[in-house]
Chains A and B, each alone.
Chain A
Amino acid sequence: MAPRAKLALVLGGLYLLLAMLFSVLGVALWADMQESERQAIRAALEVRYGLAIFVILISWALLGLVVQALYRAYVQVPLSLREQALVMATSNPALRLPENGAPEIRALAQAVNALAEQREALERDVEDRIRQAKASLEEERNRLAALMSELTQSVIVCNLHGRILLYNDRARLQFKVLGEGGGIIGLGRSVFAVMERHLIAHALDNIRHRMGRGSARPSAVFVTTTRAGQLIRVHMAPVFGAEPENAAAQRREPLVGGYVLMLENITRSVEMERTRDLMLHSLTEGSRASMANIRAAVENLLDYRDMDTEQRDRFVGIIRDEVTIMAQRLDQTTSEFSEALEVRWPLEEMVGADLVQAAQRRIEQRLGLPTETAGVAEDLWVRVDSYGLLLGLTYLASRLKGELGAQRVLLRLSRAGRLAHLDLIWPGVIDGAQTPANWEFEPMNIGGETSRLTLREVIERHGGEFWMQRDEAADQSFFRLLIPIAARPDAVDPTAFVHSESRPEYYDFDLFQASEETRALDDRLLTQLTYTVFDTETTGLDPSGGEEIIQIGATRIVNGRLLRSETIDQLVDPRRRIKPESIRIHGITEEMLRGQPPIDQVLPAFSDFCEDTVLVAHNAAFDMRFLQMKEAATGVAFRQPVLDTLLLSAVIHPNQESHRLEAIAERLGVNVIGRHTALGDAIVTGEVFLKMIPLLAEQGIRTLREAREAAERTYYARVAY
């Protein structure tokens, strides 16, 4: 009932009650009166009828006003306060109740305001905490990403479904097959594309088994091969998932949520081992035959001294020949296997200048001996056991200071063929008697601290040499250490730095929460799917008329992020001529295509790239037609679901005239850069697609099935290639 109607009812009731009270009083008095009294009252009232009614009406009106004022103060004001309190509770926590009306109501409003004040402060506090937590999480992630990218080891982290959550650049390069940025390591991709499923399953079983036996650090090791035939040793360690608190008490062993794979390419060391075997074999068995020939000849010579001269000469000749052969074989083996003969102490590769700098720091700090450099080769990488070498240099400097009174030392690093000269120079030429020849064989002792190592051992770890030399012309002496030079470390893939404005997207922990992978894609939300957005450039527009693909560009969307560091940008040799008018569009000349792989090599790599994703392209029918034309020839079929941004644009904006990529990009506020390269277009398409997902949701299109069906209904869907 409306408040006003309630007021009228209350007022009406009040009037009625008053009327009834007065009537009862009047009737009672009337009945009790004598006839004379009745006469007198009747006479008195007859004249003052108007006045009586007037007084009654006035008092009614006054009563009405009082009731209304009470109603305002105790009903209407709380009602309006209630409305405002609801606003406070639902939409505007900063709103406060006005403190007016009756004192009781005012006190109530004050209490409510105080509560609101408290609530707001609490909310602010919670928000602050969330912000802080987010910031520290982000910082940790960045730190982890930076750490990962610096690791010299390849690392891949997967969830239990084998989806890759994190990887570093080295891991990507390890499995790179074709194309620049592409490859088969990527966020959300299946690790089984590069490693056999049963190997991983077996290793996981081993780990669980070890955990069951109470091993503190369960891990497993196995060896696998890459498609390029490289041998990879894989070290697997489990990642323990977070678990609900109450479950922790019941479960004794932690829950494995995924695993870390650390990869090491052992192809080279295995090859090295084989080379050593070969060498050993050639030395032992090759020598046995020669030694047998010599021994038999010698023993004949000794045992049968009565033989004639001709026979004797023959035996002597045999001995000479066989010794020559053995010497040759020895030389040959040494030169052939020189690399394998190097001592196998694990050496690290580092920039020579860094090594020298570290040595200077060490000598100055430990010994207080000033150092200088006397020429350090630039861009020279060395392979060293830096701990041993720095120890050795400091040791030499300390003996120079203590026994020869050196006031300062100089360091020099220069290239000498396969080796580098690392010189420790001190002023003055010492004479022969003082040659510190035995220093290298004594345990290194620096300022009272003795190491078990000798300098000789350190030198041998490097397969190097060590000696002292005098340079009388310059009036100085120096120790020379020969250390091996390293080839410059593998040049890192330049494309890794192309998109340096944002940090590389090598991790996505949200994938840990990925739901059942096996569920059909159709009913999954568009926001959850993994997409490959791609574009092709072609020699012409007619796929069935023999036109060919000359460029494929692709990028990926994982968990609503466009991954600019996981791309394919591959030119393709079409093995036919390109029409000049199409060159004007894509700018790809025949010259650029020379030496590029043909389509039957590119499509398998592209297919790997697309595995388990939904394909997205602008005017997808066109690109798909080209891919399908190649299906028979390459044996590569693309059966993934396909979404077309052109059709989706028609779904979202049915009244727009143009659904060209540029027009859509402009409508949706996407910057267009690098158009008409396949990768450039793919990236624009990807960004456009990401903007479309919420717009589609507004129309109730949320799953892949809904999007496909909506696209099929549009007019454009009827245009078939």
Chain B
Amino acid sequence: MTRRILIADDEPNIVVSLEFLMKREGFEVATAIDGEATLAAIEKMKPDLVLLDVMLPKMNGFEVCQRIRANPQWSGVRVLMLTAKGRDTEVAKGLALGADAYVTKPFSTKDLVGQVRRLLGLE
């Protein structure tokens, strides 16, 4: 069964890379460019994992993460937060709000794929 991944980021330059990367790793990929669109996309495609950027327009990643965790139907959705904010206080906040993993930009694509696979139980 093909795992579905939702990429939520407002920067096209990272979305292009992530989309390419995830497709080549054999995942089914969808994208969303702001917080509200992210929630709508989750509702629609029921992804197995969301690559969630913190700095999203309309609704930030922390809030999106909280909404996902607040919805019991989405309890199976893994959340991997991606952020340019490297402070340890923010890492702690993301994990506290229910993110499964927290990756700081810039990251290695290999590590990212490894994290995604681990979270999806593919290794």
Contact = CB atoms under 8 A, between A and B. Distances in A.
B106 A288 contact: yes
Contacts of B108: 295, 299
Interface residues of B, number: 21
Contacts of A304: 20, 24
Contacts of A285: 84-86
Contact of A311 (B20, B82, B107, B110): B20
B13 A322 contact: yes
A478 interface: no
Given A288-B106, A291-B105, A296 B21 contact: yes
Nearest to B84: A288
A285 B86 CA distance: 7
Contacts of B84: 285-286, 288-289, 292
A6 interface: no
Interface string B30-72: 0000000000000000000000000100000000000000000
B109 A300 contact: yes
Q: Which of A288, A292, A295, A318 has the largest count of B CB atoms less than 10 A from its CB?
A: A292
A300 B13 contact: no
A321 interface: yes
A296 B109 contact: yes
Interface string A49-77: 00000000000000000000000000000
Contacts of A307: 20
B17 A288 contact: no
B18 interface: yes
B14 interface: yes
A300 B13 CA distance: 13
A387 to B, nearest CB: 40
Contacts of A294: 106
A318 B17 CA distance: 9
Given A284-B86, A285-B86, A304-B24, A295 B106 contact: yes
A314 interface: yes
Q: Which of B11, B84, B85, B110 has the largest count of A CB atoms less than 10 A from its CB?
A: B84
A292 B20 CA distance: 15
A291 B82 CA distance: 13
Contacts of B14: 289, 292-293, 296
A34 B116 CA distance: 176
A18 B55 CA distance: 139
A289 B83 CA distance: 8
Given A288-B84, A292-B84, A299 B13 contact: no
Nearest to B86: A288
Contact of B16 (A284, A292, A295, A314): A314
Interface in B2-18: 11, 13-14, 16-18
Q: Which of A286, A295, A296, A300 has the largest count of B CB atoms less than 10 A from its CB?
A: A296
Interface residues of A, number: 23
What's the dominant secondary structure at chain A's contact region? helix
B21 A300 contact: yes
Interface string A264-302: 000000000000000000001110110111111101100
Interface string A444-479: 000000000000000000000000000000000000
Contacts of A288: 84-86, 104-106
Contacts of B21: 296, 300
B24 to A, nearest CB: 6
A300 B86 contact: no
A348 interface: no
Contact of B17 (A286, A289, A296): A296
Interface in A156-186: none
A299 B24 contact: no
A292 B105 contact: yes
Given A299-B108, A300-B21, A321 B85 contact: no
Nearest to B55: A289
A315 to B, nearest CB: 7
Interface in B87-108: 104-108
Nearest to A315: B17
A46 to B, nearest CB: 150
A245 interface: no
Nearest to B111: A299
Interface in A397-413: none
A314 B16 CA distance: 8
Nearest to A294: B106
A303 interface: yes
A539 to B, nearest CB: 59
B17 A293 contact: yes
A311 B23 CA distance: 13
B13 A293 contact: yes
Contacts of B105: 288-289, 291-292
Interface string A301-336: 001100100010011001001100000000000000
B13 A318 contact: yes
A289 B109 contact: no
A304 B104 CA distance: 23
Contacts of B104: 288
Interface in A554-591: none
A311 B108 CA distance: 20
22 contacts: A286-B84, A288-B84, A288-B104, A288-B106, A289-B55, A289-B105, A292-B14, A292-B105, A293-B14, A293-B17, A295-B106, A295-B107, A296-B107, A297-B13, A297-B17, A300-B20, A304-B20, A304-B24, A311-B20, A314-B16, A315-B17, A322-B13
Top 8 nearest A-B pairs (CB, nearest first) are A292-B105, A296-B17, A288-B84, A291-B106, A292-B106, A299-B109, A293-B13, A289-B84
Interface of B: 11, 13-14, 16-18, 20-21, 24, 55, 82, 84-86, 104-110
Given A285-B85, A318-B16, 18 more contacts: A286-B84, A288-B85, A288-B106, A289-B11, A289-B14, A289-B55, A289-B84, A292-B105, A296-B18, A296-B21, A296-B106, A299-B109, A300-B17, A300-B20, A303-B109, A304-B20, A304-B24, A321-B13
